[in-house]
Amino acid sequence: MGQCGIIAVHHDMSTTVREKLSRLGIHTELDLLLHLPIRYEDETHLFLIADAPGGQTVQVEGVIINTEVIVRPRRQLVCQVEDSSGVLVMRFLNFYASQIKTYAVGKRVRLLGEIRNGFFGAEMVHPKCRIVHEGESLAETMTPIYPTTAGLTQKILAKLIKQVLQSPQTLQALAETLPGMILNQYRLISFQDSVTCLHNPPPEASLDALQLRTHPAWQRIKFDELLAQQLSMRLHYRQRRSHAAPVLAPVNKLTQQFLAQLPFKLTAAQIKAFNEISRDLGAAHPMQRLLQGDVGSGKTIVAALAALQAIENGFQAAIMAPTEILAEQHYQKLAAWFEPLGISIAWLSGSQKKKQKQTALDDIALGNAQLIIGTHALFQNQVLFNRLGLAIIDEQHRFGVHQRLALRLKGLRSDRVPHQLMMSATPIPRTLSMSYFADLDVSIIDELPPGRSPIVTKLIADNRRDEVIARIRHACEQGKQVYWVCPLIEESETLQLQTAVETHGDLCKIFPDLNIGLVHGRLSAQGKVAVMHAFKQGEAQLLVATTVIEVGVDVPNASLMVIENAERMGLSQLHQLRGRIGRGSEASVCILMFQPSLSDVARKRLKIIFEHTDGFEIARQDLLLRGPGEFLGSRQSGVPMLRFADVEQDKELLAAAHAAADKMLSDFPELAQQHIERWLGDRAECLRV
């Protein structure tokens, strides 16, 4: 639409104001119009002091009958304000000397704040206070309070916004982008009305509905924002789909052979997920699918089947994992599965010896290698695939947008783009996958393989370490294996390392008869692999580890895990770690040790992980606790974030926006484009993969 240039109406605006606005992300008139209040103050009523309800912001008016600066318990300005019903104390803990005069006895003031029962009786601390004359009229509308930055007052912001709202170009800037049928279907008010209303709510508007953002004006704004996100992501989805991809139709020879040699049957959920992938691979446009399932739900086998389908069509498949430990483990596992089928596998990692690496690179380029497994090393420049048909990215949240893109573009030496399968380590709440992952198709493995015994989680305060030691001894005597996870020390890797080494030393002294392994981030790649291998082979009974073992590690005989300082870890991390046990038929126990005197959030996290083992539920609670930002990891950079809508709270609007987006893209493409531009502007051009 482009009708909103750099704030043109305010030629007279000073550079400082301009700078401050840009600090708030306001560059255009439209930005200013969409700079919506964070809350409202109700200055349309006056309460009598004696009648004013507590626990909420109220406005009262009275005459100052006493003003003094007292110094005990600390220096403060205390004024008594009286109306026909009673007296109220107002207190300022920080004040300018000039305020002593301003609030002199006899002045009439209007106070806005919360009344509490304080040291001096009914009082307002730091109220918003204005000198008024008797009978001064009240505000006719709710007063919007805007998010702002130092040096930019509410008054200036409100004035600027008012000016823009009154300018003739504004009508055009607020032109409707939704077709009538969508407005009707979801009973939405017009965009212009909603913007006007939020800046200038009419007196009859419910303050609650405005504050809680359930008012129809807010609903419209949130719908629009969600719709813009959906539109841009679906558009990217369609664009990528318009590329050509190799057709990798099911051949069912290698896949059947592979299934026949597995010691177990696939779960129904695994079969369903693979069928969805298999169908996509057979299409002439690139698959862009996210495979999600709880920890231990068996995603690796589904990925292996997908790789086989590519290979039996004469193409290469690549699997990329975020850590050396995980890549190595995939390599071991897939080599054992695929070598009997006569498939050649190449392995690529950053720490590889030069000669080995060159051999691998040659095999990849010449097409001798059919399956390629590796870390980030896979998308370096010197890696040239011969015929890459499928790129599988494990633990997709660990990779940035550009890294995934790089691997995709590596593809083929033709204009065909490889299929892409992404896997997530932990489940993603439904609302998130509907919003931030709307540019992907999603397959979900929603059941665990049979025969897993549930994990029992115990919370034990750090001062009961002896009990924990006794449990470890008991478990090892019974031939079980144990993980000991050292505290996460984010501030210092050195300290974390030191702690791990010390813990290892301590445990060696306590258990001189046990073989105790130690794995941490500073070990060389081979070092890590050797330690993990020994543990997997049962040569070590106890493994002391930092959180490097967080993802993917699979040692079914390990059935006890101790996590130290669990209160410092995030929910998905705890869930991931705990998912390392409970993989065999043995009943497993996870002991979460914590330092007493927990923070509020830490207590909530531990309660959630203690009460739930279902990763989808944990993920949902995590989303409620933390918001989407952190959940998304590096994905954030490529995806339009939401300012107003909240995917969990606004579930219904999200579903509506989701449905409306497809309708608009097919039937109203121009409006869709205008809508994206209004909400995302140049951010709509972000590359996404």
Q: What is the largest CA-CA distance in the chain?
A: 96
Q: Which stretch, 27-35, 182-190, 263-271, 494-502, contacts ligand ADP (CB under 6 A)? A: 263-271
Tell how far CA 509 is from the center of its chain: 42
Residue with Cβ nearer Mg ion (421 or 665):
421
CB of 270 to ligand ADP, least distance (A): 6
Q: Which stretch, 116-124, 219-227, 293-301, 466-474, contacts ligand ADP (CB under 6 A)? A: 293-301
CB of 348 to ligand ADP, least distance (A): 21
One symbol per residue from 511 to 550: x for binding ligand ADP (CB under 6 A), - otherwise; what is it? ----------------------------------------
Residue with Cβ nearer ligand ADP (114 or 446):
446
CB of 334 to ligand ADP, least distance (A): 11
CB of 424 to Mg ion, least distance (A): 9
Angle 618-622-626 from CA coordinates, rounded to 5°: 180
Kindly state whether residue 266 participates in binding ligand ADP, applying the rule CB under 6 A: yes
CB of 231 to ligand ADP, least distance (A): 32
CB of 468 to ligand ADP, least distance (A): 26
Tokens of 683: 């951010």
Selected binder of ligand ADP within 293, 427, 517, 628 (CB under 6 A):
293
Residue with tokens 């509490």: 116
Selected binder of ligand ADP within 144, 201, 296, 427 (CB under 6 A):
296
Strands (E), 126-273: 128-131, 143-145
586 vs 265: CA distance, rounded Å: 20
303 vs 326: CA distance, rounded Å: 14
80 vs 63: CA distance, rounded Å: 8
Kindly state whether residue 299 participates in binding ligand ADP, applying the rule CB under 6 A: yes
Kindly state whether residue 588 participates in binding ligand ADP, applying the rule CB under 6 A: no
Phi, psi of 241 (to 5 degrees): -65, -20
Kindly state whether residue 177 participates in binding ligand ADP, applying the rule CB under 6 A: no
Kindly state whether residue 300 participates in binding ligand ADP, applying the rule CB under 6 A: yes
273 vs 260: CA distance, rounded Å: 19
356 vs 347: CA distance, rounded Å: 9
Kindly state whether residue 584 participates in binding ligand ADP, applying the rule CB under 6 A: no
Residue with Cβ nearer ligand ADP (299 or 504):
299
Tokens of 42: 């109700």
CB of 506 to Mg ion, least distance (A): 31
Q: Amino acid identity, residue 599? A: S
Q: Which stretch, 1-9, 181-189, 546-554, 582-590, contacts Mg ion (CB under 5 A)? A: 546-554
Question: HSE-up of 605 (CA within 13 Å, CB side)?
Answer: 22
Q: In this chain, which residue has its C-beta nearest to ligand ADP?
A: 298
Residue with tokens 């420049």: 381
Contacted entry of Mg ion, ligand ADP, none for residue 296, CB cut-off 5 to 8 Å set by kind: ligand ADP
Residue with Cβ nearer ligand ADP (82 or 446):
446
One symbol per residue from 415 to 454: x for binding ligand ADP (CB under 6 A), - otherwise; what is it? ----------------------------------x-----
Residue with Cβ nearer ligand ADP (299 or 635):
299
Residue 581 exposed, middle or buried by CB count within 10 Å (0-12, 13-18, 19+): buried
Phi, psi of 5 (to 5 degrees): -80, -170
Phi, psi of 263 (to 5 degrees): -75, 0
By CB under 6 A, the count of residues binding ligand ADP is: 16
Selected binder of ligand ADP within 301, 507, 606, 656 (CB under 6 A):
301
Residue 386 exposed, middle or buried by CB count within 10 Å (0-12, 13-18, 19+): middle
Inter-axis angle of helices 191-199 and 154-166, nearest 10: 150
CB 553 within 8 Å of CB 532: yes
Residue 474 exposed, middle or buried by CB count within 10 Å (0-12, 13-18, 19+): exposed
One symbol per residue from 586 to 615: x for binding Mg ion (CB under 5 A), - otherwise; what is it? ------------------------------
CB of 474 to ligand ADP, least distance (A): 25
Selected binder of ligand ADP within 82, 114, 441, 554 (CB under 6 A):
554
Q: Which stretch, 169-177, 233-241, 346-354, 550-558, contacts Mg ion (CB under 5 A)? A: 550-558
Cβ neighbours of 19 (radius 10 Å): 12
Report which of 141, 164, 144 is spatially closest to residue 21, judged by C-alpha positions. 164
SS3 238: helix
Selected binder of Mg ion within 201, 552, 628, 640 (CB under 5 A):
552
Kindly state whether residue 246 participates in binding ligand ADP, applying the rule CB under 6 A: no
Kindly state whether residue 293 participates in binding Mg ion, applying the rule CB under 5 A: no
Strands (E), 100-183: 108-114, 116-118, 121-125, 128-131, 143-145
Q: Which stretch, 79-87, 170-178, 452-460, 551-559, contacts Mg ion (CB under 5 A)? A: 551-559
Q: Characterise 400 by phi-psi region: left (phi > 0), alpha (psi -120 to 50), beta (else).
A: beta
Q: Please report, as ranges, the residues that interact with Mg ion according to CB under 5 A.
A: 552
Q: Please report, as ranges, the residues that interact with ligand ADP according to CB under 6 A.
A: 264, 266-267, 270, 293, 295-301, 449, 554, 556, 583
